[in-house]
Structure 1
């Protein structure tokens, strides 16, 4: 079973796209070539797109949305076209007929806008989705993307949405359908559950009752992870990246 399942219920919605190792081409060439940590983080998860082109304005108190037929209007909630909802009512069970999900709505805090992607999402048991800004991609100057974790195994399928905070009051803020808006990653509930993560105090010296010292094995592990600044030492650039890529290909003997 897949860890994550997307349901595209709005026909014009762009399907999610796997994260890109080059962060949509925005990574410096050296980072893309040598820094496997950045490459892995960039490609972890799925890019999710807005359902439509959206144009917003924020005056510091109220949000306005542009519509071709009526110009700028104060935003409360906007819904997909009637044709889509007629199709929804055709297939929905009786208690869901007439139920409408806004694709664009303001929240109770000034400048906060919720955007529904037109997708639903569900995950395998004990997995949730982390919705977050695009990893390693420069954020939009006009708005900030909030992060959130939704338990989409228990509440599923769930409308896949994102909350953004408008921060530019000097101009219109354009959110294009063709540009990924946020990133979705499946994470196990144990990764964020209370008591599921703890930190251990480790010192350099011998145990002192509060911390314990580094063992010989730990020193060896540290030695293999750092790159010396001394030019005469063996410090191969990109060693970590090469090791990770070999392991991904099933080549366990990397030394």
Structure 2
């Protein structure tokens, strides 16, 4: 996979490392391997500029930086990017540049660009979502999306629904805007590839109860982090087998 920085001011793409940018609780880091594993999937992408949004209830205003003026948002292009794009791209593509901010017809939904595009590897797709296990912002919700980036080259953006009215919502360059996780594109078809078997406890097999007993012993043997230690050993085995 390859990220292409199209806006020069866009911060570097950062690999998620499971620490949640140092905000992961120490006990979770030491003992809760499922939480750490989820948090280290994929890459963080950030806004290319500091900006604010404000939802009035009928329209969205934006402000670039802390000292900028509030302006009605329709579709915003970053001026320096547009000129740089036109100077760099093939002549026949000089008008094919994406906006940085775009308001949807619903009024309270805004598309926010990262200043990057992405082209994936064969057989891969990408899950674009809000940052995993980072404290969420109560002022907006992130819509999640899955892109078949093995064939579709697209600017990387996220759509957010503004929740708070008449309150400036900050989007700083130092805070991740979204997280991109690479997955196999076999998960994309609408058909369920392997329908799950759903059974009742009274019909559970001896193998289920044996697995249940092993898990229960791990959780209750009195030693914190027993699952984490075992899973880390298995992770080494998985890596060695590739």
Q: TM-score, normalised by structure 1?
A: 0.85
SS at match of 2:127: strand
**Map of 1:86 onto structure 2:** 83
Rg larger in 1 or in 2? 1
**Map of 1:49 onto structure 2:** 46
SS at match of 1:249: helix
SS at match of 2:36: helix
Residue 16 of structure 1, CA deviation:
1.2
8 Å Cα contact 2:61-2:73 kept in structure 1: yes
SS at match of 1:225: helix
Residue 149 of structure 1, CA deviation:
0.8
My pick for the range that moved more, 192-201 or 139-148, is 192-201
Unaligned runs of at least 5 residues, structure 1: 207-212
8 Å Cα contact 1:227-1:235 kept in structure 2: no
Matches within 5 A, 1:1-255: 4-67=1-64, 71-82=69-80, 84-156=81-153, 158-193=154-189, 194-206=191-203, 213-214=204-205, 216-227=206-217, 234-250=221-237
My pick for the range that moved more, 24-33 or 96-105, is 24-33
Distance 1:240 1:87, change over 3 A: same
8 Å Cα contact 2:50-2:64 kept in structure 1: no
My pick for the range that moved more, 53-62 or 16-25, is 16-25
Distance 1:90 1:67 in 2: 24
Distance 1:251 1:59, change over 3 A: closer
Q: TM-score, normalised by structure 2?
A: 0.89
Q: How many residues align?
A: 237
Q: Give 1 or 2: higher helix fraction.
A: 2
SS at match of 1:38: helix
Distance 1:195 1:106 in 2: 34
Distance 1:112 1:15 in 2: 26
8 Å Cα contact 2:85-2:97 kept in structure 1: no
Unaligned runs of at least 5 residues, structure 2: none
8 Å Cα contact 1:131-1:149 kept in structure 2: yes
SS at match of 2:96: coil
SS at match of 1:226: helix
Distance 1:20 1:251, change over 3 A: closer
Distance 2:182 2:196 in 1: 23
Distance 1:33 1:119, change over 3 A: same
